[in-house]
Amino acid sequence: LFGLMDGFLKNDPLSLQTDILDHVEYTVARSRFSFDDFEAYQALSHSVRDRLIERWHETQQYFKRKDPKRLYFLSLEFLMGRSLSNSVINLGIRDHYADALKQLGFDFEVLAEQEGDAALGNGGLARLSACQMDSLATLDFPAWGYGLRYQYGSFRQVILDGFQHEQPDYWLNFGNPWEIERVHVSYPVKFYGTVEEDILNGQKYKIWVPGEMVEAVAYDNPIPGYGTRNTINLRLWAAKPSGQDDMESYNTGDYINAIVNRQKAETISCVLYPDDRSYQGKELRLKQHYFFVSASLQDIIRRFKEEHNNFETLPDKVALQLTDTHPSLAIAEVMRVFVDEEHLSWNRAWDIVCKIFSFTTHTIQPEALEKIPVDLLGSLLPRHLQIIYDINCNFMEELKKKIGLDYSRLSRMSIIEEEGPVKNIRMANLSVICSHTVNGVSRIHLELLKTKVFKDFYELWPQKFQYKTNGVTQRRWIVVSNPNLCALISKWLGTEAWIRNVDLLMGLREYAADADFQQEWKLVRRLNKIRLAEYIEAMSGVKVSIDAMFDVQIKRIHEYKRQLLNLIGIIHRYDCIKNMEKSDRRKVVPRVCIIGGKAAPGYEIAKKIIKLCHAVAEKINNDPGVGDLLKLVFIPDYNVSVAELVVPGSDLSQHISTAGYEASGTGNMKFLMNGCLLLATADGSTVEIIEEIGEENMFIFGAKVHEVPTLRDKGSARKPSLQFARIVRMIREGYFGFKDYFGSLCDAVEGNGDFYLLEHDFESYLEAQASADKAFVDQKRWTQMSILSTAGSGKFSTDRTIAEYAESTWGIEPCKCPF
Ligand code: 26Y
């Protein structure tokens, strides 16, 4: 049977051309003799999609036949970026397509540029989910991803007059060839209503009588592995009006209003919440979370029941991964389904629940921990609130037996937060209590979880706590985004095997000082810089010198990530150049400072940082006395495809969070893989990067994690920095204009207010910057450091992260679909 189904579609140039032209004519409905680049992109991607579907089918059939334990990866955010290049590279047919297109008069790269980003997420967590899907597919794991199909993804950042404005991202307006709508895979999702009791066979049962119903419709997104036929599924849910609700209004004759009201159901999956900073208990957000959880679990349980009739075996067949607390209502939902619908006893249900969930937290800051007001949950999901209370009650009883009547500890560990003006459900506590494993995202993150955030829980269940250092996929971050470097690496290693086995990159160490290799390495890097310089000029009108050091900080704008420290450093550099003798200016290492990132729409300080960046850039870039010695550019609307261009073209990248605040960071890994040197604090995963490539190959500065609390306590008794104070005064006194507007920004970094210790770290930041300048002048040394960065980046592949999760958290094994 398998042979029959294997590879109907051919990949020779003629077949590909025929396919593309057929899609031009029958899918895009244009003439095959006349179509533009966008239409060519559409036809091309449909032709690729056909090949994805073929493998997707084979893989799903194979999984079904083999019935292995499956991983269900639940995440409310996926930052997939573009799919075309990634797909054809993973399918191993990029060059076939490029040749076929050439003969049709099209350039593959030009068509690839036509695609918009799928930006269904905010930042690190969302891109990590995307990288992990790539590794799950490549390593042949029987996994499914579940998420939401937001109609509007991450807002488009538009800069007007230096200020950030948010605009909607109409990503679906031009169609999305990468998804398959499954009109027949849909489930009702219930909200509101009341809980009633019923008696069945003498047993009392709770019945939830909902007040509102919407339909969840599946959209499948095939995720191809590299060097394997395995193609897994990312199933995203969209909300549609339900066929079952609101019959009343029809009967009362208010037909138009009934239709209009029904249509409101779609708002549930309409828009991604743009905040990745602090949780606000918003009803729509909670609705999204439950909508997602309910649809995914109905799908998962249906699939399980097709093959199995005993829930006791569920833990042998199903692993549920909670990406942060956002999907953690799943815990209460599984209890509800088991107890109320499948009529399992509470204890049996609880036994199973405790074996299927694993939870990874991506945060350190307590204010980012999700809390749901009890009243809100009680009104939207009355039965779930009861279940959470019951779980908590049982847990509290158990806990009292173990730790006695230590009330303050009991109240800290309770799922219900009683203190404060409103009662809240602590989703993190719920997740820790009900998951068999709690993972941190770097070693230092786990340390902080154990000693701070989850100290009480760690003391109770030390065996639950693990860490899996994050990674990024080398397929996207080298092969797709840096094809020249990819070719060079393969040439010198004599193999492409590193694309699946990234540890082989270590082999580059041998050639780190080789003059020929260095020459080729520098050439590749230079070409990437040219590409980036062209983009910068097109975006901002600023012409930059390719010989300057490209110094980049791109990531979400947050106080703890300290873009402001970078800016104060840039102003200091400018100030030094201005105050220098003309003859000394020759010694200055020219820099192009690049900053990019979105600020959450309601995050005032972050928005001021963006404005400050523009104000400083305006001054510096128009100062004829400075010229090419210093340029500052802000890259607007940072997203995955912008990163694919910026990362390969940078010399130095900054990861300068206050130690103890970045759970892991993954941008650092992308830069590292591409041979960009890191200027960083010893925070998150950088600590492990230092171990892999050595401090001598990086520029490390600043307070260490254990020093931060003491330094903060010292407040204004800390050693002041005159240089720092001078720059802050310049900003405050209006040197860059907008005097009153920047006042609060200055307050946030002065004296006792300097929570993130910018002033304390400033001197050592300048020293690290000076070392970077010094190293850059010696191009031989710099290139060697660059090669050693790539060579030492192997550990930071999601292939390693996923293999570790599979083995020690999920208990799943590869299930490779035969060729
Ligand atoms: C609850 C809601 C407000 C919320 C929404 C999104 C809270 C947090 C988030 C996202 C958090 C996030 O992206 N965290 C980042 O996860 C990365 C992947 O693990 C880490 O590398 C990074 O350090 C961390 O900030």
Give the pLDDT band of residue 248 (cuts 50, 70, 90): low
Which protein residue's CA is at the shortest distance from atom 3 of ligand 1?
279
- In which region does residue 392 sit, left (phi positive, over 0), alpha (psi from -120 to 50) or beta (all else)? alpha
| Cβ-contact 217, 240 below 8 angstroms | yes
Structure tokens at 104: 């049709």
- List C-alpha distances in Å: 103 to 13, 96, 100, 472: 9, 11, 5, 35
Q: What is the tens place of the pLDDT at every residue in 420-443?
A: 899 999 999 999 999 999 999 999
Residue 274: what pLDDT? Answer: 87
Q: Is the distance from CB of 608 to CB of 742 less than 8 angstroms? A: yes
What ipTM, to 2 d.p.?
0.98
Average pLDDT over residues 787-808: 98
Domain match, 508 and 373 both? no
Confidence of residue 7 (pLDDT cuts 50, 70, 90): low
User: What is the extent of the structural domain holding 726?
Assistant: 475-801
Residue-wise pLDDT tens digits, 668-701: 999 999 999 999 999 999 999 999 999 999 999 9
Cα pseudo-dihedral 420, 424, 430, 433, rounded to 10: 30
Whether the per-residue pLDDT at 787 is higher than 70: the answer is: yes
Query: Do residues 496 and 619 share a domain?
Result: yes
Residue 241 beta carbon below 6 angstroms from any ligand 1 atom: no
Probe residue for ligand 1, chosen from 74, 77, 363, 685 as the CB with the greatest number of ligand atoms within 8 Å: 363
Judge whether 384 counts as a catalytic residue.
no
DSSP bridge partners of 188: 215
**Ligand 1 atom with minimal separation from the 279 CA:** 3
Does residue 483 sit in the same domain as residue 365?
no
Task: Note if 556 is an active site residue.
Answer: yes
- Give the model's pLDDT for residue 263: 87
* 593, 480: one domain: yes
Point out the domain boundary residue: 395, 415, 431: 431
Closest atom of ligand 1 relative to the 325 alpha carbon: 1
**Which atom of ligand 1 approaches the CA of 128 most closely?**
18
Tell whether 488 is covered by a domain.
yes
For residue 276 and ligand 1, the question of a CB distance below 6 A is answered with: yes
Q: Residue type for 21, please?
A: L
Q: Is the pLDDT of residue 772 over 70?
A: yes
Residue 18 domain flag? no
Q: Is 684 in the pocket of ligand 1 (CB under 6 A)?
A: yes
The per-residue pLDDT for range 153-191, each reduced to its tens digit, is 999 999 999 999 999 999 999 999 999 999 999 999 999
pLDDT above 80: residue 792? yes
The separation between CA 2 and the C-alpha centre of its own chain, rounded to angstroms, equals: 36
Looking at the fold, whether 512 and 640 belong to one and the same domain comes out as yes
pLDDT at 260: 85
- The predicted pLDDT at position 278 comes to 64
410 assigned to some structural domain: no
CATH code for the domain in which residue 490 is found: 3.40.50.2000
Please state the atom number of ligand 1 nearest to the C-alpha of residue 368. 7
pLDDT at 4: 36
CA gap 768, 772 in Å, rounded? 6
- The rounded percent of the chain whose pLDDT value lies above 90 is 92
pLDDT at 276: 61
Q: What is the position in ligand 1's atom list of the atom closest to the CA of 126? A: 13
488 and 369 together in one domain = no
**pLDDT band, very low/low/confident/very high, at 368 (cuts 50, 70, 90):** confident
Using CA atoms, how far apart are residues 672 and 485, in angstroms rounded to an integer? Answer: 13
Q: Which residue has the higher pLDDT, 281 or 51?
A: 51
Distance CA 508, CA 490 (A): 10
Angle formed by the axes of helices 329-336 and 382-403, nearest 10°:
100
Phi–psi pair at 220, nearest 5 degrees: -100, 135
Planar angle of CA 220, 223, 224, nearest 5 degrees:
140
Q: How many CB atoms lie within 10 A of CB 131?
A: 26
Query: Which residue of 122, 125, 438 sits with most ligand 1 atoms within 8 Å of its CB, as the best mutation to test the pocket?
Result: 125
512 within domain boundaries: yes
Residue 515: the pLDDT is 98
**What is the separation, in whole angstroms, between the first and last Cα of the chain?**
13
CA distances from 572 to 50, 553, 581 (A): 55, 17, 16
Is residue 362 within 6 Å of ligand 1 at its C-beta? yes
Q: What is d(CA 732, CA 739) in angstroms, rounded to the nearest whole number?
A: 6
Q: How far apart are CA 816 and CA 819, in angstroms?
A: 9
Residue 176 lies in a domain: yes
The structural domain count of the chain equals 2
Q: Is the CB of 664 under 6 A from ligand 1?
A: yes
In the residue annotation, 555 being an active-site residue is answered as yes
The reported pLDDT for the residue numbered 3 is: 34
Beta partners for 46?
A: none
Cβ-based neighbour number of residue 81 at 10 Å: 23
Average pLDDT over residues 135-152: 98
Q: Can you tell me the mean pLDDT for 115-132?
A: 97
Q: Is the pLDDT of residue 36 over 60?
A: yes
d(CA 445, CA 657): 14
Comparison of pLDDT for 719 and 624, the residue scoring more: 624
**Pure H helices in 211-323:** 247-251, 255-263, 283-307, 314-317
Q: Alpha-carbon distance 187 to 190, whole Å?
A: 10
pLDDT number for residue 76: 98
* Tokens, residue 596: 């990019």
> Do residues 662 and 724 touch, judged by C-beta distance below 8 A?
no
Annotated active-site residue 362? The verdict is yes
Checking if the pLDDT of 320 tops 80, the result is: yes
Residue 749 DSSP symbol: T
Whether 247 has a pLDDT exceeding 80, the answer reads: no
- Does residue 496 share a domain with residue 377? no
Q: Is residue 277 pLDDT above 70, yes or no?
A: no
Give 250's pLDDT tier (boundaries 50, 70, 90). Answer: low
Residue 403 covered by a domain: no
**What's the rounded Cα separation, in Å, for the pair 509 and 204?**
69
Asked whether residue 23 is domain-assigned, the answer is: no
Taken in order 789, 794, 795, 798, the sign of the CA dihedral is positive
- Check: CB of residue 240 under 8 Å from CB of residue 122: no
Q: What is the pLDDT of residue 722?
A: 95
Structure tokens at 459: 């003391």
Task: Note if 32 is an active site residue.
Answer: no
Cβ–ligand 1 distance for 301 under 6 Å, the answer no
Tell me if residue 349 falls in helix, strand or coil.
helix
C-beta of residue 239 within 8 angstroms of C-beta of residue 121: no
On the question of pLDDT at 146 being above 60, the answer is: yes
Measured distance CA(522)–CA(2) in Å, rounded: 48
Q: Select, from the ranges 239-253, 257-271, 561-575, the one with the highest average predicted confidence (pLDDT).
A: 561-575
Task: Give the residue ranges of DSSP H helices in 67-107.
Answer: 84-91, 94-104
For residue 814, tell me if it sits in a domain.
no
- Ligand 1 neighbour 281 (Cβ under 6 A): no
pLDDT 10s digits, 285-310: 999 999 999 999 999 999 999 999 99
Predicted pLDDT at 2: 37
Of all protein residues, the one whose alpha carbon is nearest to atom 4 of ligand 1 is: 276
To the nearest whole number, what is the mean pLDDT of the chain?
A: 95
